Structure 1
Amino acid sequence: MPPQSGPRMASDGTKAHFEVLDGLRGTAALLVVAFHIQGITVLFDAQRLLLPHAYLAVDFFFALSGFVVGYAYDDRWSTMTTRQFLTRRLIRLHPLVLLGAVLGLLSYIGDPFAGNRQDAPVMLIVAAFAAALLALPSAPLPNRLGDSHPLNAPAWTLLQEYIGNLAYALVLRRLKTPWLAGATMVAGLASVATAMSLGSYDTGWGLHNFGGAPVRLAYPFMAGLLLFRLHHRLPRWRVGFLPLSVILLLAFAAPAMPTDGVIKLNGLYQAFCVVILFPAIIVAGRHSQGGPTMAHLCRTAGQISYPLYITHYPFVYLYMNWIATGNGQGAVTGPFAIGLYVFTIVFAVAAYRIWDRPLRLALRRWSNPVEGSDLS
């Protein structure tokens, strides 16, 4: 029996989740965590990575975010203010930003494997922590590879997420669909030009390449919003969660590609993923559903995707320094890497249940924001 179309309707009258898109966000988070853990053992050498394109999960997240923000809020602006929208987005995203900042601070000052590699002035660490609490970049810290958010590297994408939400509230929601399509095309050209120039989308995460961050945000976020606006006119592909997850896995696992003359094939391949493949996956996921078991799997994957993504890296820092001590050699590395992977997932489940969900519910009761979808 083919999957049904569209999201399941919520019993309480609120907007329902697109369960397959929820699940795919979980798939992408699981793959990028595996990329970080395995990558740190080979210093992110593209030829030795098992998932050399998995950092494109960030661009997939941005596209999902644009689609879901449009779905959740495009029809609510007659009864919702910009302040209410931004309050709701802060409640949705910031509790885990705070937790990630605390974990990052603890992993920096309490790392038993770092030796003197993380000796830094106290005020520099305090400033980095203050910035991390706001998802802002800070001055570099020793032994943090030039990350713009040195206590919790993935937080650079949360800053871009906030920028995307602000742009939506102030500008993008007001654009008629043809104008949005035009802006998306311009952003797409800039995106492809960046990939072809650099040979990849590996930009935006550090202080030295921070200008690449808004370029990576602009096209997928606007493309996701445009897909929502046009979704009734698009093909009704019904592929399902597991096949779409396999497609994501294969896309991330494709080998890194060389430069052929003046054409950087790796950049061309990644541009295809970001500009064409990811939007197609969203279109297919938007129309797909499975049975009760698959729906439960998708909901669970979606629930832990953001906690997993934003809390795993402080533990990866510890693993990085353990590797640097010379302990992570030979056959012992694999079991430790697998153990770390499982631990980050378990920790994400705990973070969702003990920290994220209760705190968001308390903040909602306090602020009484407009009701809406909680998928994004």
Structure 2
Amino acid sequence: MSSGKQFFTALEALRGVAAIMVIFRHTEGTLGPIWPNISYLAVDLFFLLSGVVLAYSYERRLITGEISPAGFLLQRIIRLYPLYLLSLPIGLVSYVVQSGLDYSTLWGLLLKGILFVPSMDLGSLFPFNAPSWSLFFEIWASVLLSILLIRLSLRSLLAIALAAAGMAMYGALLEGNLDIGFQPSYFIFGFSRVLFSFSLGICLYRLYEVRKPNWATNGNIVGLLLCACLILIANIPAATFFGFPYFDFFVCLVVFPTIVWIAMGTMQTGLVELIFRWLGRLSYPIYILHGPIFSLLHALRQEGFNLPASPAAGMMVVIAIVIAAGIVAVRFDEPVRRRLKMMVSRNPPSTATATSNLGGV
């Protein structure tokens, strides 16, 4: 087994678990009344993991000129856009059900959605797929990685991470917690929110290159414990620390990097490895598809459709989304991305499977 496979397996699981935690946060009442929790920090974990993975996969290639910043951005678009575009028709139908059939407005919003331009005059930056706000900021961070961050020292990256955390802290103090960046009124803080976690991820990769952690002999157990730890953290009630966002920053600046660093020193085998890899494989399809689906269900319920809203019905919807994510990943996303890579390059870059799975929110 290659070191690359060892390196990524537990990170795939962490991303998959985080994506599932986000599903439960956005159930829109399908599971009945749910107390808000701090699973919104899953987005910060996504940014941290992306910093690690993209630095691992592309930093050296960008520095040596093997791939240009434009080529790198094209790879990111190929990674993120197919499923995002697939989600837009669902979001469009949901928007029509809620707001009516105004063709001029719909065409304008659809064009913005395709071009990934935020809608600053609405309640959501991306009304056809609200969770995709984080993709916008991750693409921005990817561009910054390709032209600037790869050239900075570890000390400079840490300084940027802490400065960005300080800026995000200001927004979090205004809002009461770190659940900011997706609102038009807090849009500017989305840049600082992604930058501090993304930069920390690059730092973790740099430290990994200098001092690789010893592979844990009980990697299956350690990996499962890390996933359990993440679930426990995500289920802390949001009201517990609302108005005291320092706890959110403690989780993002200390707890998450520690979990990821430990995960980078583990190797999974057998059934656990298979499950972890599927969690990673499903993480992005789950994340990008669940928002429009729940939004559509919520819109239909508001229009008087008698849709069940119980824990049993909600779990059926969640399971259906996970199954649909698997089908879409295997039958649509992965084949389309392979075809696009072949189209843009005579010698398509050979990247690790884990890179393909993890290279997106």
* 1:22 and 2:12 correspond: yes
* 1:3 paired residue number: none
SS where residue 150 of structure 1 aligns?
coil
C-alpha separation in 2, matches of 1:87 and 1:38:
34
Residue 87 (structure 1) aligned to one of 34, 54, 74: 74
Detail structure 1 runs of 4+ shifted over 4 Å in the superposition. 14-17, 38-42, 234-239, 325-329
- Report the CA distance between 1:140 and its aligned residue: 5.1
* 1:309 and 2:290 correspond: no
C-alpha separation in 1, matches of 2:6 and 2:60:
14
- Report the CA distance between 1:306 and its aligned residue: 0.2
Encode CA deviations 1:58-92: one digit per residue, 9 max, x unaligned: 11100000010111112213122222211211111
Query: Do the aligned residues in 1 keep the contact of 2:47 with 2:197 (CA within 8 Å)?
Result: yes
Residue 291 (structure 1) aligned to one of 259, 269, 281: 269
* 1:269 and 2:247 correspond: yes
Give the aligned residue type for 1:181. Answer: L
* 2:297 paired residue number: 319
Residue 48 (structure 2) aligned to one of 63, 69, 76: 63
The TM-score normalised by the length of structure 2 is 0.88
* 2:2 paired residue number: 9
* 2:88 paired residue number: 101
* 1:5 paired residue number: none
- Report the CA distance between 1:205 and its aligned residue: 1.0
Tell me, which stretches of 5 or more residues in structure 1 are unaligned?
1-7, 43-47
Encode CA deviations 1:90-110: one digit per residue, 9 max, x unaligned: 11111112112222123333x
Residue 35 (structure 1) aligned to one of 25, 39, 56: 25
- Report the CA distance between 1:22 and its aligned residue: 0.6
* 1:227 and 2:179 correspond: no
Superposition pairs for residues 100-249 of structure 1, below 5 Å? Answer: 100-109=87-96, 114=97, 117-138=98-119, 146-231=123-208, 232-233=210-211, 238=216, 240-249=222-231
SS where residue 117 of structure 2 aligns?
coil
* 2:236 paired residue number: 254
C-alpha separation in 2, matches of 1:51 and 1:208:
21
C-alpha separation in 2, matches of 1:108 and 1:187:
34
- Report the CA distance between 1:36 and its aligned residue: 0.5
Cα separation, partners in 2 of 1:50 and 1:247, compared to 1, 3 Å:
farther
Give the aligned residue type for 1:229. Answer: R
C-alpha separation in 2, matches of 1:296 and 1:310:
22
SS where residue 156 of structure 1 aligns?
helix
SS where residue 37 of structure 1 aligns?
coil
Query: Do the aligned residues in 1 keep the contact of 2:31 with 2:315 (CA within 8 Å)?
Result: no
* 1:52 and 2:37 correspond: yes
Give the aligned residue type for 1:70. Answer: A
C-alpha separation in 2, matches of 1:15 and 1:334:
37
- Report the CA distance between 1:361 and its aligned residue: 0.5
Root-mean-square deviation (Å): 2.5
C-alpha separation in 1, matches of 2:253 and 2:233:
13
C-alpha separation in 2, matches of 1:85 and 1:190:
28
SS where residue 204 of structure 1 aligns?
coil
Tell me, which stretches of 5 or more residues in structure 2 are unaligned?
none
Query: Do the aligned residues in 1 keep the contact of 2:50 with 2:198 (CA within 8 Å)?
Result: yes
Query: Do the aligned residues in 1 keep the contact of 2:47 with 2:138 (CA within 8 Å)?
Result: yes
More displaced 10-residue stretch of structure 1: 130-139 or 270-279: 130-139
C-alpha separation in 2, matches of 1:206 and 1:38:
18
Give the aligned residue type for 1:350. Answer: I
Encode CA deviations 1:148-187: one digit per residue, 9 max, x unaligned: 1001101111111110100000110111222212212212
C-alpha separation in 2, matches of 1:358 and 1:350:
12
Structure having the higher helix fraction is 2
- Report the CA distance between 1:327 and its aligned residue: 6.1
* 1:372 and 2:351 correspond: yes
Encode CA deviations 1:270-312: one digit per residue, 9 max, x unaligned: 1111111111111011111222211111111101100110011
Q: Name the % identity.
A: 28
The TM-score normalised by the length of structure 1 is 0.84
Aligned residues: 346
* 1:354 and 2:299 correspond: no
Query: Do the aligned residues in 1 keep the contact of 2:31 with 2:311 (CA within 8 Å)?
Result: no
* 1:4 paired residue number: none
C-alpha separation in 2, matches of 1:138 and 1:332:
30
C-alpha separation in 1, matches of 2:168 and 2:313:
37
More displaced 10-residue stretch of structure 1: 248-257 or 213-222: 248-257
C-alpha separation in 2, matches of 1:246 and 1:61:
17
C-alpha separation in 2, matches of 1:135 and 1:86:
14
